[in-house]
Structure 1
Amino acid sequence: MNSGIYAALSGNLSAQRRLDVISNNLANSNTSGFKADQIQFESVLANVKNPTQQAPVFSNDRYSTDYSPGAMQRTENALDVALDGDGFFVVNTPQGPAYTRQGNFFRSQAGRLVNADGFEVQGSGGSIAIGGGKVEIAGNGEVVVNGATVGTLSKVDFPKPYQLTKIGGGLFVPANPQAAPAPTQASVKQGYLESSNVKVVVEMARMIEASRYFETCAKAVKSYDDMTAKAVNELGKV
């Protein structure tokens, strides 16, 4: 088959994956602490090492995450917290510790501080019991309930550039399981949430660009298909 049609099909696949990433970014434009993703492509010839194989031309896609901070949004909710500076909160999942910028925490039925998925938020001494009292959280992460200190929010950071993997629910884990986090000096702001860092106007422009690229590649595929059909019909008359 003409290699040109493989390139056009690869363009379609690349554009579709890019549209998927953009759509996810836009869907999370109002999700607190969400970090936008981007995708880049490197075109490769799949049969470059073995020209006898008629393997298609595809693209290697590389995903990256924009870790720039979102804007601070005041909520007045005592259990909403945001980090002013680099770093992450720590939550305990069934698979181990995970890290997040989403500070919309809750009080569990057991009186523990948990995230939206019910995972316990970790403090310097483990989970934090807040009971049913009035909660105050200081800039250093110290949690005070009815005037008594019950724990201190764990705040950690990793070397940059970050080598983290998204696992859903606004959570990250190190790509290297052996990577150890270090304490961060970022301050905690009670009654605030960090907004998503998705730039809606930019993402919409990227969506239009990717959609047009998809349409162009689709037209190219049709053109190659028409040429192939015409060639077959002409050869059949010979």
Structure 2
Amino acid sequence: MFKGMYTATSGMMASERKQQFLTNNLSNAETPGFKQDEATFRSFPEYLMKERDTNTPTLNSSIGTLQTGVYTQEAIPNFSSGSLKETSKQTDLALIDENLPIDEETGKKGLILFGVRLEDNSIRYTRNGSFSVNKDGFLTTSEGYQVVGENLQPIQLTSDSFTVTDDGTILDDNGTEQQLWIGYTSAPSNLTQQGNGVFTWEGDEANAPGNIQTTDFTQYSVKQGYLEDSNVDMTTTMTDMLNTYRLYEANQKVLQTYDQSIDKAVNDIGRVY
């Protein structure tokens, strides 16, 4: 079998996988706080080809290496901030973190997130601050996840008429105060997008996002009545989708050429008279 067929097929599969990521990004272009996924490719191991001397078997000269194709290794979220959009809704909250310090170990800026509790009581993280108060008075996300306070307990309010200060303190209309849990991580690359802008932590639990109120960071704020837009650039994404389709098509034509070559070898050259 021609090895090039495997190379072309791997290119088609990698392109198809990347197209899935791009399609998901485009479908979430209007989802507040959504972070676009960027596909990363990796090549399969190379083959070292040698010329075999039948007269002197011990003298085999190297011809070179043969590439065997690529595959989509993973999708890495791009955690750059989206633009702010004013909604004037008291339940809409946005995180402002442009002035967070640069981590000395990674050389990159960290990330802050809201904490939410799922139905199985597990904690997840999100930048989507499109919240609402449900019939039981709990502050929830659009998916129904409960937003948690500083003790990782759900925040319960008497109504949706509340005020949020810059540091994340919620002032209810009856005068009570609650503190939003806002997590900080210096290694956002360990966050995996679960869907609907919700992230799960895949790294060492000892380094999982911790409550930023316990640190000395002051370079962040919570903006009430605003939402953070997704960081998906629709024009760039659609251009990437077109280029990925062209790449898929090019590999497909390579396969067709191999198919025609095999057909000619079997039916014409290899014909026995």
User: Is the pair's TM-score, using the shorter chain for normalization, greater than 0.5?
Assistant: yes
TM-score, normalization by structure 1: 0.91
2:31 touches 2:196 (CA, 8 Å); kept in 1?
Answer: no
Change (3 A) 1:87 1:7: same
2:133 touches 2:160 (CA, 8 Å); kept in 1?
Answer: no
TM-score, normalization by structure 2: 0.79
1:183 to 211, 214, 218: 211
**How many aligned residue pairs are there?**
231
Change (3 A) 1:133 1:61: closer
Q: What is the identity, as a one-letter code, of the residue corresponding to 1:139?
A: D
1:149 to 172, 176, 179: 176
1:73 to 75, 85, 99: 85
2:39 touches 2:72 (CA, 8 Å); kept in 1?
Answer: no
2:77 touches 2:192 (CA, 8 Å); kept in 1?
Answer: no
Separation in 2, partners of 1:130, 1:113: 7
Change (3 A) 1:170 1:227: same
2:21 aligns with: 21
2:41 touches 2:70 (CA, 8 Å); kept in 1?
Answer: no
1:129 touches 1:150 (CA, 8 Å); kept in 2?
Answer: no
Give the alignment of 1:1-238 within 5 angstroms: 1-45=1-45, 59-85=71-97, 86-93=111-118, 94=120, 96-125=122-151, 126-132=153-159, 134-146=161-173, 148-176=175-203, 178=205, 179-184=207-212, 185=218, 186-234=220-268, 235-237=270-272
Q: What is the identity, as a one-letter code, of the residue corresponding to 1:83?
A: L
Separation in 1, partners of 2:2, 2:36: 37
2:158 touches 2:173 (CA, 8 Å); kept in 1?
Answer: no
Structure 1: stretches of 5+ with no match in the other structure: 49-55
Runs (4+) off by over 6 Å: none
Using the TM superposition, give the Cα deviation of residue 135 of structure 1 relative to its aligned residue in structure 2, in angstroms: 0.9
What root-mean-square deviation, in Å, do the aligned CA atoms of Structure 1 and Structure 2 show? Answer: 1.9
Q: In the TM superposition, what whole-angstrom CA distance separates every residue of 1:18-45 from its partner, at most 9, and x where no partner exists?
A: 1111111111111100000011211204
Separation in 2, partners of 1:15, 1:189: 40
Separation in 2, partners of 1:19, 1:149: 49
Bigger radius of gyration: 2
Using the TM superposition, give the Cα deviation of residue 58 of structure 1 relative to its aligned residue in structure 2, in angstroms: 5.1
2:21 touches 2:38 (CA, 8 Å); kept in 1?
Answer: yes
Using the TM superposition, give the Cα deviation of residue 236 of structure 1 relative to its aligned residue in structure 2, in angstroms: 2.4
